[in-house]
Structure 1
Amino acid sequence: MTQYSIAQAKDKLTQIIRSAEEGQSVEITRRGEPVAVILSMDEYRRLSKVPQNFGEAVLAFRQQYIEGQPWFEDEEIDEIFNVRDKSPAREVEL
């Protein structure tokens, strides 16, 4: 990550914005200590999304990477996501 002091950032703001637009985050420092980061709007939106719960994440993954893909048949998807052992549980004596 590129690093600039506040004074340098004032002089090179246009260059810093272009770097951020190209996907490179830029760190801004004050007296050598990081105080801010400039990043692209796309990266900001990605980072500020509301986190999904686990179930929503699995559904999103299936929709994006599995469902509708020609190399996966429905039976294969079932095998991937239904890996739980369905045999009866062992008996426990109390």
Structure 2
Amino acid sequence: MQKQFSIAEAKNRLPTIVHYVEKGPYVELTRRGKPVAILLSIQEYERLSRKYTGFWNAISEFRRKTEDEGIEISDRDFNGLRDLSSGRGIELR
């Protein structure tokens, strides 16, 4: 299905377009060839509408969820993730 429809086309094909955007991609609506609106799924709208919680709140929520689910993270889980070599292969002069 195309991703762009004139408002008149969208009016005539609305049920089909709604089914299309429910599955993921958005549809652009145009008036006289210029984009004027976007039709997207409620899931995508909710994702885009979420407030930014900030790093500290996100990490606190992550810690709470892992504790609630009984997931234990130890120092062993982080072994080998960081390159400890001097300069990480960059030679300084």
TM over 0.5: yes
Q: Give CA deviations for 1:16-40 in whole Å, capped at 9, x if unaligned.
A: 1001111121110111111111111
- Measured at CA, do residues 33 and 60 of structure 1 come closer, stay the same or move farther in structure 2, by a change above 3 Å? farther
Query: How does 1:1-94 map onto structure 2 within 5 Å?
Result: 2-61=3-62, 68-69=70-71, 73-76=73-76
> Any unmatched runs of 5+ in structure 1?
84-94
Q: Distance in 2 between matches of 1:28 and 1:4?
A: 5
- Measured at CA, do residues 62 and 9 of structure 1 come closer, stay the same or move farther in structure 2, by a change above 3 Å? same
> Any unmatched runs of 5+ in structure 2?
83-93
How many residues align structurally?
77
Q: Give the TM-score taking structure 1 as reference length.
A: 0.64
Identical aligned residues as a percent: 42
Q: Give the TM-score taking structure 2 as reference length.
A: 0.65
Q: Give CA deviations for 1:63-90 in whole Å, capped at 9, x if unaligned.
A: 66x7655xx742246x68xx9xxxxxxx
